[in-house]
Amino acid sequence: MKETIQTKYLIIGAGISGLAFATKLKDESFLIVEKEQEIGGYCKTFKQDGFTWDYAGHFFHFNNPEIQKQFSQLLQAPNTVYNDKNTKIYYKDSYVDYPFQFNIHQLDKDEFIECLCGLFDHPVETGTTGFKEMLYSKLGKGIADKFLIPYNEKLYSCDLNTLDEDAMGRFFPKADPVEIVKGFQGERLKTYNDEFFYSGDGAKAFVDALEDEIDSSKILTSETVTDIDYEKKIVYTSNKIIQYSKLINTMPFNQLLDAANIPHEENYTANKVLIFNLGFDSAPVDKDIHWIYYPDKSLVFYRVGFYNNILRQDRMSLYIEIGLNSNQTVDINEYKTRVLEDLKKVGIVTTHKLISDNSIMMDPAYVHISEKTQREKDRIKEKMAQKGIYTIGRYGNWTYCSIEDCIQQAYALFENLKHK
Confidence of residue 128 (pLDDT cuts 50, 70, 90): low
Task: Please compute the mean of the pLDDT values over residues 6-22 and round it to a whole number.
Answer: 97
Q: What is d(CA 31, CA 123) in angstroms, rounded to the nearest whole number?
A: 53
> Does residue 337 surpass a pLDDT of 90?
yes
pLDDT at res. 146: 97
Answer with the residue of higher pLDDT: 138 or 328: 328
Q: What is d(CA 168, CA 292) in angstroms, rounded to the nearest whole number?
A: 19
Considering the chain, what is the average pLDDT of its residues? 92
Task: Please compute the mean of the pLDDT values over residues 200-205 and round it to a whole number.
Answer: 90
> Does residue 126 surpass a pLDDT of 60?
no
pLDDT at res. 195: 83
pLDDT in tens, 387-407: 999 999 999 999 998 889 999
> Does residue 246 surpass a pLDDT of 70?
yes
Between the alpha carbon of residue 149 and those of residues 152, 160, 172, the distances in Å are 5, 8, 13
**End-to-end Cα, the chain, rounded Å:** 34
Answer with the residue of higher pLDDT: 89 or 188: 89
Between the alpha carbon of residue 91 and those of residues 14, 54, 294, 320, 346, the distances in Å are 40, 27, 7, 17, 10
> Does residue 188 surpass a pLDDT of 70?
no
Residue 291, C-beta contacts closer than 8 angstroms, at least 6 positions apart = 57, 87, 303, 304, 305, 306
> Does residue 174 surpass a pLDDT of 80?
no
Q: What is d(CA 155, CA 40) in angstroms, rounded to the nearest whole number?
A: 24
Q: What is d(CA 266, CA 162) in angstroms, rounded to the nearest whole number?
A: 12
> Can you give the pTM of this predicted structure?
0.94
Q: Read out DSSP for 67-122? A: HHHHTHHHHTSTTEEEEE--EEEEETTEEEESSGGG-GGGS-HHHHHHHHHHHHHS
pLDDT in tens, 257-312: 999 999 999 999 999 999 999 999 999 888 899 999 999 999 999 999 999 999 99
Nearest one of 389, 377, 380 to 248, comparing CA atoms: 389
pLDDT in tens, 34-74: 999 999 999 999 899 999 999 877 777 788 888 888 888 88
Task: Please compute the mean of the pLDDT values over residues 222-241 and round it to a whole number.
Answer: 97
- Contact 33/10 with Cβ under 8 angstroms? yes
Question: Is the four-CA dihedral 385, 388, 391, 392 of positive or negative sign?
Answer: positive
- Domains in the chain, CATH or no CATH each: 3-44+201-266+368-417 (3.50.50.60), 110-181 (no CATH), 272-362 (3.30.70.1990)
pLDDT at res. 68: 85
Q: What is d(CA 58, CA 94) in angstroms, rounded to the nearest whole number?
A: 26
